[in-house]
Structure 1
Amino acid sequence: MKTKQENIFSSKTLTYFLQLAETMNYTQAAQLLGITQPALTQQIKKLERSVEAPLFYSVGKKLHLSDAGRTMLQTTHEIYELLNQATDEIQQTTSATQGKISIGLLASIEDRVLEDFAIHYYKENPEIELSFHMLTRKEIWERLETNQIDLAVMYLPDDSIKNWEPYKSKKILNEDLLFLHHNQKLAKRKKIKYKDTIDNNWVTYPERYYLNSLINESYKNQLVDAPNIVAHFTTPNQILRFARSTQTYTALPNSFVQAHQADIDSYVASFDPAIHFDLAFVFRQDKDQIPRIASFLDAFDDYIKDAFDDYIKAEDYISRLKATTETE
């Protein structure tokens, strides 16, 4: 027979509790967990019986954490933090040339260089198993927090994350968001004011994606109405194809534009003022002390530097993108 502690702190029980605490919706939480709503309700009631206190309460149709629920949530996060620290400490003693490395990439990132590097790295380290996952920003942070991925490749700064204390970042390059259009009246402009980009419909990323939020914030800061969005796609290739076929406006990262120059028949200009952000590796504190992770990050640096030794790292990345395109 299981003890009370085993009932409370089973991996499944905590996972169910965390998902419900995240969504505050039984139906949505059950769907994300891949179980039925009655099954989730049963697990939560079982947990509440174990701690002898209600963890949630409802006001109308809205769910809230009780005082006991907030205590359980804090304790659960502390448990995961301890487990993550233990995992990292154990892994720090492992080999630099064996094991698994799991990497989460934002779906909106131009990943050609990373794909090429993965091939190069495997040839040099055949006993390292690389796993790449195309994820949303929310999925990346959830998997970083639960140690399901070792490294994330994402855009920064990310104001949606309030607690950066457990994490570190390693910049890959400075990025610029570029304006793409088919308006001949604007064809000669290398820089374009925000007010001149809203006379046509746009296609861009989904509403909660980093770059869509960045675009909206930039227009807000310039006191200009946000573009009228008629379509949303998760990847830059999808956005580019739609923009080409419909003559809509869009904005895409410079790294993607450089890598796909042969496919871009639109005019390209910088925003005035420019929209800057960083592409970076993000990982938990001390993760870069794990031998295979440190080796991977060092090898990526060397891969970029070897391409064009005379350039700074950011330029190397862009140059590598150009070189990759030209050799295809």
Structure 2
Amino acid sequence: MSSKTEKTNQENIFSSKTLTYFLQLAETMNYTQTAQLLGITQPALTQQIKKLEHTVEAPLFYSVGKKLHLTEAGQIMLRTTKDIYELLNQATDEIQQNSSATQGKISIGLLASIEDRVLERFAIEYYQTNPEIEISFHMLTRKEIWERLENNQIDLAVMYLPDDSIKNWKPYRSKKIFDEDLLFLDPDPKRANRKRIRYADTISQPWVMYPEKYYLNVFLKEAYRNQLVDPPHIAAEFTTPKQILDFAQATKLYTALPNSFVQAHELDKTFNPLPFEPALRFELAFVYRRDKEEIPRIAKFFEEFGKYMENLDYISRLKSNTPQNEV
């Protein structure tokens, strides 16, 4: 094969979004769903995959009935493509490590179900002292956070841990922000004097909660199984804690929300927030690729956030209605 032909084949593989299309299809194993996620037509997706298969001279997928599978060549391509992305991420990180501590962009993915008041106020103060740093926040699902971390599309994630949805923690590190508790919002006045609540006492009526695959929904159901109690029947689902609280207050359905959200918002007086017995505890943390904190602007961000938390603890900041620099 001539060098010119080799170059053409390489351009065919690595040009445009061919590898992105391949990776997305390898994840969903569904042409229709992949095309929708990518915002393209199914014929356009099929054409790109066939182009890639023609270039490597081997089929990458095969079907058994309606189910799609990777061929041996497809598995090799998937493994190699992930290796390529990892090398590109490493190169990006190495380049950024030489950047300025006071200039550039910090992209942060926040789990959509968290209370973001403290982080929002810190971003305001940080900008006032570091106006050349651009901070961007993205409210994301857990799946979206891991995808963007893996593809180096966000520098930091703010999310709940532990998280078993990712099996390979080797490329990542975490930095705890604070310990969190899940509180049951009890509308029953007969239990007004209780200090804690048993799991078995929380399933007598339906709940309003996060969607099925959201972290706190999965975390909650696992806790009930561990206590040998049937998980709550969830009658309504919303993606943000404010929506859940509003619905619960209007309907008197049961629910449970993080202590951070409860501290930051005024509840209906008929609700009594109770810790579970045993307690449901997890942590809010920054999660990031291993070498990110060596990038000057990320290191400075962590340093300033640490000082911010030393001046006033997380829960106190949640309860305060006034930013600390205005107190």
Identity of aligned residues (%): 73
Give the counterpart of 1:31 among 36, 39, 51: 36
CA deviations on 1:145-171 (whole Å, 9 max, x unpaired) are 000000000000001110000000000
Paired residues, number: 320
In structure 1, distance between residues paired with 2:185 and 2:268: 12
Gaps of 5+ in 1: 308-315
Contact (CA 8 Å) 1:260, 1:325: kept in 2 or not? no
Indicate the residue corresponding to 2:262 in structure 1. Answer: 257
CA deviations on 1:183-210 (whole Å, 9 max, x unpaired) are 1122211110000000111001010000
Q: CA RMSD in A?
A: 1.5
Indicate the residue corresponding to 1:318 in structure 2. Answer: 315
Indicate the residue corresponding to 1:125 in structure 2. Answer: 130
In structure 1, distance between residues paired with 2:267 and 2:233: 28
Structure 1 segments (4+ residues) deviating >4 Å:
262-265, 325-328
Indicate the residue corresponding to 2:304 in structure 1. Answer: 299
Give the counterpart of 2:288 among 283, 288, 311: 283
| C-alpha deviation, 1:9, in angstroms | 1.9
TM-score, with length taken from structure 2:
0.95
User: What is the DSSP-based 3-state SS (H/G/I as helix, E as strand, rest coil) of the residue aligned with 2:40?
Assistant: coil
Contact (CA 8 Å) 2:59, 2:73: kept in 1 or not? yes
In structure 2, distance between residues paired with 1:96 and 1:263: 45
Indicate the residue corresponding to 1:8 in structure 2. Answer: 13
Q: 1:262 to 1:178 in 2, by over 3 A?
A: closer
In structure 2, distance between residues paired with 1:304 and 1:92: 25
| C-alpha deviation, 1:10, in angstroms | 2.6
User: What is the DSSP-based 3-state SS (H/G/I as helix, E as strand, rest coil) of the residue aligned with 2:23?
Assistant: helix
1:209 maps onto 2:206 in alignment: no
In structure 2, distance between residues paired with 1:264 and 1:45: 62
In structure 2, distance between residues paired with 1:298 and 1:236: 29
Give the counterpart of 1:103 among 90, 101, 108: 108
In structure 2, distance between residues paired with 1:251 and 1:71: 45
Indicate the residue corresponding to 1:173 in structure 2. Answer: 178
The more displaced of 217-226 and 255-264 is: 255-264
Q: What pairs up with 1:65-84 in 2 under 5 angstroms?
A: 65-84=70-89
Q: What pairs up with 1:130-209 in 2 under 5 angstroms?
A: 130-209=135-214
User: What is the DSSP-based 3-state SS (H/G/I as helix, E as strand, rest coil) of the residue aligned with 1:3?
Assistant: helix
User: What is the DSSP-based 3-state SS (H/G/I as helix, E as strand, rest coil) of the residue aligned with 1:261?
Assistant: coil
1:183 maps to a residue whose letter is D
In structure 2, distance between residues paired with 1:27 and 1:92: 40
Contact (CA 8 Å) 2:179, 2:281: kept in 1 or not? yes
CA deviations on 1:218-272 (whole Å, 9 max, x unpaired) are 0000010110101111110000000000000100001111111356651110100
In structure 2, distance between residues paired with 1:44 and 1:11: 12
Give the counterpart of 2:68 among 63, 83, 88: 63
User: What is the DSSP-based 3-state SS (H/G/I as helix, E as strand, rest coil) of the residue aligned with 1:208?
Assistant: coil
2:213 maps to a residue whose letter is R
| C-alpha deviation, 1:324, in angstroms | 3.2
In structure 2, distance between residues paired with 1:141 and 1:215: 21
